[in-house]
């Protein structure tokens, strides 16, 4: 029970911070476009040795983006650890007692949490958090360039259109998956509150 409680609190807190600190690919269009522009400059320096330099103000903005991205990544790592611990202890409680079976909301919420933070499904889709200021790689530069051209109204070839379509699909899939996780966490919190209220009235 203590492990279940601690992991549950960790899941709740990290889920809240994950919701309030979403990666930049989920921010409004203006912030997203600016992060793409600055990230493109950094990638070109890193991969191509380009001489384009960021102004001090742009460098400060990019530092903020990177810091926010690292924070989001750290929160995601905590979720990746707390979710399996929480679900395993929850399963043990179901097997060892019948209290969870008396509250169907618990079962539904656990299922949603499992789906929402299933890293195997995420990795299978090849998700790499596109357009969030994160990993610097030559492959990502191709994707960033495609989006950069669309932002500036430049013509796109078929491969660039495909890059955008594929990555926007991955963004939507990841967003859907995370929303399922948030609903699962909220539902489990609601079930816990209801269970506490019922326990008080029964005792």
pLDDT one digit per residue (tens) for the chain, 203 residues: 788 888 888 999 999 998 888 777 777 778 888 888 888 888 787 666 667 777 888 889 888 888 887 888 788 889 888 999 999 988 888 777 766 666 788 889 989 999 888 764 444 344 445 455 445 455 677 788 888 898 888 999 898 898 888 878 877 888 888 899 999 999 999 988 887 787 777 76
Residue 184: predicted pLDDT: 94
| Residue 49 Rama label (left phi>0; alpha psi -120 to 50; beta) | left
Token couple for 183: 């609903």
Residue that is written with structure tokens 């499992």 in the block = 114
DSSP 105-169: HHHHHHHHHHHHT-HHHHHHTT---TTSS----HHHHHHHHHHHHHHTT----HHHHHHHHHHHH
The answer to whether 80 and 121 have CB atoms below 8 angstroms apart is no
Query: How far, in Å, are 20, 71, 185, 196 from residue 77 at the CA level?
Result: 16, 10, 16, 30
Cα–Cα dist 133/89, whole Å:
35
Residue 130: predicted pLDDT: 44
Residue 47: predicted pLDDT: 62
The answer to whether 18 and 75 have CB atoms below 8 angstroms apart is yes
pTM: 0.81
Cα–Cα dist 105/111, whole Å:
10
């Amino acid at each position: 029970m203590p492990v279940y409680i601690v992991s549950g609190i960790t899941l709740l807190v990290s889920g809240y911070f994950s919701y309030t600190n979403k990666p930049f690919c989920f921010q409004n269009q203006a912030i997203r476009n600016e992060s793409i522009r600055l990230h493109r400059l950094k990638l070109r320096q890193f991969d191509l040795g380009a001489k384009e330099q960021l102004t001090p103000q742009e460098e400060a903005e990019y530092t903020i983006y990177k810091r926010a991205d690292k924070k989001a990544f750290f929160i995601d790592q905590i979720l990746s650890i707390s979710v399996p611990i929480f679900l395993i202890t929850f399963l043990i409680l179901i097997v060892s007692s019948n209290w969870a079976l008396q509250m169907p909301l618990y079962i539904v919420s656990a299922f949603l949490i499992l789906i929402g933070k299933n890293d195997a499904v995420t990795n299978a889709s090849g998700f790499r958090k596109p357009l969030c200021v994160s990993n610097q790689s030559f492959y990502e530069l191709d994707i960033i360039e495609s989006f950069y051209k669309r932002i500036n109204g430049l013509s796109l070839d078929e491969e660039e259109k495909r890059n955008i379509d594929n990555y926007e699909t991955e963004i939507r899939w990841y967003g859907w998956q995370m929303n399922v996780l948030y609903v699962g966490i909220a539902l489990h919190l609601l079930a816990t509150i209801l269970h506490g209220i019922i326990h008080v009235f029964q005792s």
